[in-house]
Structure 1
Amino acid sequence: MSGRYSILNNVYFLGGFATMGGMLFGFDISSMSGVVGTDRYQNYFNRPSSSLQGGIVASMAAGSFFGALMAGPLGDKISRKRTIMLAAMIWIVGSILQCAAVNVAMLIVGRIINGVAVGLASMIVPVYQSEIAPKNIRGRIVSLQQWAITWGILIQYFIQYGCSFIDSDAAFRIPWGVQIVPGIILLAGISIFPYSPRWLADKGRSDEALQVLANLRANGDRNDPAVMAEFQEIEDAINFDKTLAARSYSELFKYPNARRVFLGITLQSWSQLTGMNVAMYYIVYIFQGAGITGQNANLQASSIQYVLNVVMTIPAILFIDKWGRRPVLLVGSTFMALWLFLIGGLMGKYGSSINFEGNKTTTWAISDNDAASKAVIACSYLFVCSFAISWGPVSWTYPAEIYPLRIRSKAVSLSTAANWAFNFILAYAVPPALENIQYRTYFIFAAFCVAMTIHVFFMFPETKGRTLEEMDELFNSDIPAWKTRALPASKLEQDIENIKMQQAGEKAPNTAAGHQ
């Protein structure tokens, strides 16, 4: 087998490369956060008001909302792989328009088109990853999506930082133009990737599905027991699917799917209501409020936050399949609430009203207390670390794994659209909030973190260690969510052992008859 063939059937490589779709989102976040506080951006676009700046930033999320909704039917119709390719092509067009923007209207159009691409990619990439990954590392593979986002934020931010020293509008045009590069790489690379084996099987292309699965699991050996057991499980699920009514969006809101659809939508919504992406978009304003003045000082302080975001996502990638989804979410939201309450309290006690020249958004800041300023920055860093190790990766992993195949693409599109809907609302609303209610904004997000902690504890079952096809049994049971960690292990191992016994000429137990 050639080296090229081997790497194109390596789950880590496939899942990791596909996350370049997530990197597009990260690039977009930094493409604005690094320039909104610079004089060249402010002067070229006539110093936009806080509400207009919110609209410029939120326009990407608006496009992403519609892109995510489009990705559902596209993922089913043209495949997960081709939907990612389409996202890359749209991204290239949007980046060109954004780079060439001569006024706010053109900038917004470019960001909306970029947003459509990000919506498509952010929805379909986790689905593709979850469908190619084995159950024991599925969380790790899908978590790479969040890591790619953090890398996109970091890389673009340092590009922005370097270009901030250019004394012309190239200071923001070069970073916006560089965004074309990952789009081209993603388009070229994904075109030679295999299709999702589950999508192939669902389309009646069982022989191709079996071969792809064999390539991914056993170097092409179709008779490997693990391949045979997993493929049979997929086929059983599809055969059961054929006994049901024709597929439609309406079944997403009927029993037994409605509960899972609600959980996916609320999880993605909560991930935005943590305030993390707001912190990424408007980090310049946040640090100005903490008393960090001077463009270079602010950019340097911000860069530390972006590095922490990358580094602290690594433990989640390594251990999410060991820790489980529930404890990671619960611990993460608890600590995020703590840091947000502290930030709001410190700024409320030690801050005061202030007017920044050329900045209409920051109207409250700590100006004469160095210790309080450092404490706010430290809490901001700890908040980012808490999100990076918890809600960041799990918010992509959980929705991509809880739905049955027949509704997976459409259901994930709804949950991802909810993510972008709240992203849009918050990106638009936060600048006016920082201007008008100031430090109290942090208390609002802290309260959201408390609410999501309660919601996860009572409503979200543990999904680690189970195949995608076993989620029906898990979610259709009457077992309370907080007791699901103690459930028996996946049945796939027993199915594999039964096949091994059959291959050895021994008789498999009757309990596995339904899987033979």
Structure 2
Amino acid sequence: MGQVFCYNARLYVLTRFILGIGSMLVIASCPVLLTELAHPRQRSFLVSSYASLFFIGSISLFSSSSTLESNWPLQVVAWTSFGTLHIPTQWSWRIPTTLQLLPPALQLPLITLVPESPRWLVSHSRHSEARSIIARFHANNDANDPIVSLQYYEIHSAIALSARSQSASYLSFLQSPGNRRRLLLVVFSTIFGSWSGNGIITVYLSTALKQVGITDPAAQAGINGGLQIFNFCVALAAAALVDRLGRRVLFVTSSLVMLLAMTGFTVATEQFARQPQAGSGKALVAMVFLFQFGSDVGFTPLTPMYTAEIWPYHLRAKAMALHYFLMYAFSAAGQYANPVALQNLGWKYYLVYIAILVFEVLFTYFVFPETKGHTVEGVASIFDKEDSREQTPVQQRV
């Protein structure tokens, strides 16, 4: 609400900072809660859809206001702004900013309907409540259903094992081979999600379009708005295919498509720099959509889900917090580096991202394990060979 009544850029930045603190509490906890509440057969779609639904906000709120671009350091992303593009007053940015009040206004009353994680309840010795929630969401309120007893036993055993053998500090990330491998996956999946060229395609798309002669603000806004609709459709479709195709297939496909698109993106920009022509601009726009297709089929829906499901209960929330900390740290570094590099290197800067993407393809192919078909606790069998022997094959897979 404070943003709506801002009268200078400093106050606007301050309110955005406060908003970021609150939103991060929600962003970091949602994938964890969804992972721990969802039925095993629905977990992949629900958690990957969570990340995909981000684009609903982007569709309705994407950056196009000329007043906002010229007077404010931060942009509100909005299709709504497309309609306010030519408003000559500050209402060109105040209107889309005001509309951002709607989601938290809906969230506040609805949060009372969200149940607690059964794993958290078991860890706090509230066993009957945990069984009740499992029965409600996984067995149509039938407490005698075998799946209720199986999942409760699995959760109870995993949490008891964690309590006996490991601490829940951040140092635990380094205390076993399995945790070190998990940490490696979190760090590199976050790097790939932030430094594959995404910053150029999103934050500095306007600069990239200007490099190939697309300078009209309305044209740039239309491309960006159409891109958000495209992103939403592709990411949601990919979420529905996670269990059918598996995580590895989507991660590797994502990396390959982004590599091809970034290569085409670079060629189109270089061609326009040598000989300006409309065809280069059209080719670059096509490569932007292809790049986002690659990102949307893999890293957009999968990274939060993959991070949440590969970690045991006692470290899951900390791992998710680490993931988002690294994501925003890497993104911030990229946002400072990208404009300077683009100004000094031009299209040659894109070669850096091509090199990163080549490494990314190899890393995802050879290092990322498949977790398809495993329960949340059963994923431990991939990383912790010794501890997972205490679980039966039935417990490990669905």
Counterpart pick for 1:145 among 39, 50, 62: 50
Contact 1:126 1:142 in 2 (8 A): yes
Counterpart pick for 2:261 among 324, 336, 339: 339
Whether 1:242 and 2:163 are equivalent positions in the alignment is yes
Give the share of equivalent positions with the same residue, in percent: 27
Corresponding residue of 1:216: 137
- Give the TM-score taking structure 2 as reference length: 0.89
Kindly tell me: are residues 490 and 316 of structure 1, through their superposed partners in 2, closer, same or farther at Cα, counting changes over 3 Å?
A: farther
Contact 1:288 1:298 in 2 (8 A): no
- Give the TM-score taking structure 1 as reference length: 0.70
Q: Could you give the per-residue CA deviations for residues 139-163 of structure 1, whole angstroms, max 9, x where no partner exists?
A: 1111112221111111112111111
Aligned residue runs from structure 1 range 491-506, under 5 A: 491-492=394-395
Kindly tell me: are residues 452 and 477 of structure 1, through their superposed partners in 2, closer, same or farther at Cα, counting changes over 3 Å?
A: farther
Whether 1:129 and 2:40 are equivalent positions in the alignment is no
Corresponding residue of 1:55: none
Deviation of 1:493 (Å): 8.7
Kindly tell me: are residues 187 and 282 of structure 1, through their superposed partners in 2, closer, same or farther at Cα, counting changes over 3 Å?
A: farther
Regions of 4+ moved over 4 Å: none
Q: Could you give the per-residue CA deviations for residues 107-166 of structure 1, whole angstroms, max 9, x where no partner exists?
A: 221222222223222211111111111222211111112221111111112111111121
Kindly tell me: are residues 477 and 449 of structure 1, through their superposed partners in 2, closer, same or farther at Cα, counting changes over 3 Å?
A: farther
Q: Distance in 1 between matches of 2:353 and 2:24?
A: 24
Whether 1:350 and 2:258 are equivalent positions in the alignment is no
Q: Distance in 2 between matches of 1:456 and 1:406?
A: 26
The code of the aligned residue for 2:157 comes to D
Kindly tell me: are residues 444 and 245 of structure 1, through their superposed partners in 2, closer, same or farther at Cα, counting changes over 3 Å?
A: closer
Partner of 2:144: helix, strand, or coil? coil
Q: Distance in 2 between matches of 1:254 and 1:462?
A: 23
Contact 1:329 1:390 in 2 (8 A): yes
The code of the aligned residue for 1:329 comes to F
Q: Distance in 2 between matches of 1:470 and 1:274?
A: 31
Q: Could you give the per-residue CA deviations for residues 72-102 of structure 1, whole angstroms, max 9, x where no partner exists?
A: xxxxxxxxxxxxxxxxxxxxxxxx2333333
Report how many residues are paired. 376
Q: Distance in 2 between matches of 1:444 and 1:490?
A: 45
The code of the aligned residue for 2:141 comes to G
Q: Distance in 1 between matches of 2:346 and 2:55?
A: 27
The code of the aligned residue for 1:169 comes to Q
Kindly tell me: are residues 281 and 117 of structure 1, through their superposed partners in 2, closer, same or farther at Cα, counting changes over 3 Å?
A: farther
Contact 1:130 1:400 in 2 (8 A): yes
Could you tell me which runs of 5 or more consecutive residues in structure 2 were left unpaired when the two chains were aligned. Answer: 62-77, 387-391
Deviation of 1:432 (Å): 2.0
Counterpart pick for 1:118 among 23, 27, 34: 23
Kindly tell me: are residues 115 and 445 of structure 1, through their superposed partners in 2, closer, same or farther at Cα, counting changes over 3 Å?
A: farther
Kindly tell me: are residues 430 and 98 of structure 1, through their superposed partners in 2, closer, same or farther at Cα, counting changes over 3 Å?
A: farther
Q: Distance in 2 between matches of 1:439 and 1:325?
A: 33
Contact 1:466 1:490 in 2 (8 A): no
Partner of 1:195: helix, strand, or coil? coil
Q: Could you give the per-residue CA deviations for residues 212-232 of structure 1, whole angstroms, max 9, x where no partner exists?
A: 110001121111011111111
Deviation of 1:421 (Å): 0.9
Deviation of 1:342 (Å): 1.3
Q: Could you give the per-residue CA deviations for residues 450-509 of structure 1, whole angstroms, max 9, x where no partner exists?
A: 21111112221100110111122211249xxxxxxxxxx962498x9xxxxxxxxxxxxx
Deviation of 1:277 (Å): 4.5
Contact 2:231 2:292 in 1 (8 A): yes
Q: Distance in 2 between matches of 1:348 and 1:257?
A: 44
Could you tell me which runs of 5 or more consecutive residues in structure 1 were left unpaired when the two chains were aligned. Answer: 1-95, 353-365, 479-488, 497-516
The code of the aligned residue for 2:293 comes to C
Q: Distance in 2 between matches of 1:104 and 1:416?
A: 26
Kindly tell me: are residues 477 and 492 of structure 1, through their superposed partners in 2, closer, same or farther at Cα, counting changes over 3 Å?
A: closer
Whether 1:373 and 2:281 are equivalent positions in the alignment is yes
Contact 2:51 2:304 in 1 (8 A): yes
The code of the aligned residue for 1:336 comes to M
Corresponding residue of 2:70: none
Corresponding residue of 1:471: 379
Corresponding residue of 2:331: 423
Whether 1:107 and 2:29 are equivalent positions in the alignment is no
RMSD: 2.0
Q: Distance in 2 between matches of 1:274 and 1:117?
A: 27
Q: Distance in 2 between matches of 1:261 and 1:390?
A: 19
Q: Distance in 1 between matches of 2:317 and 2:200?
A: 27
Q: Distance in 2 between matches of 1:277 and 1:208?
A: 44
Corresponding residue of 1:201: 122
Aligned residue runs from structure 1 range 61-460, under 5 A: 96-156=1-61, 157-255=78-176, 256-351=178-273, 368-460=276-368
Deviation of 1:169 (Å): 0.9
Kindly tell me: are residues 277 and 119 of structure 1, through their superposed partners in 2, closer, same or farther at Cα, counting changes over 3 Å?
A: farther
Contact 1:287 1:298 in 2 (8 A): yes
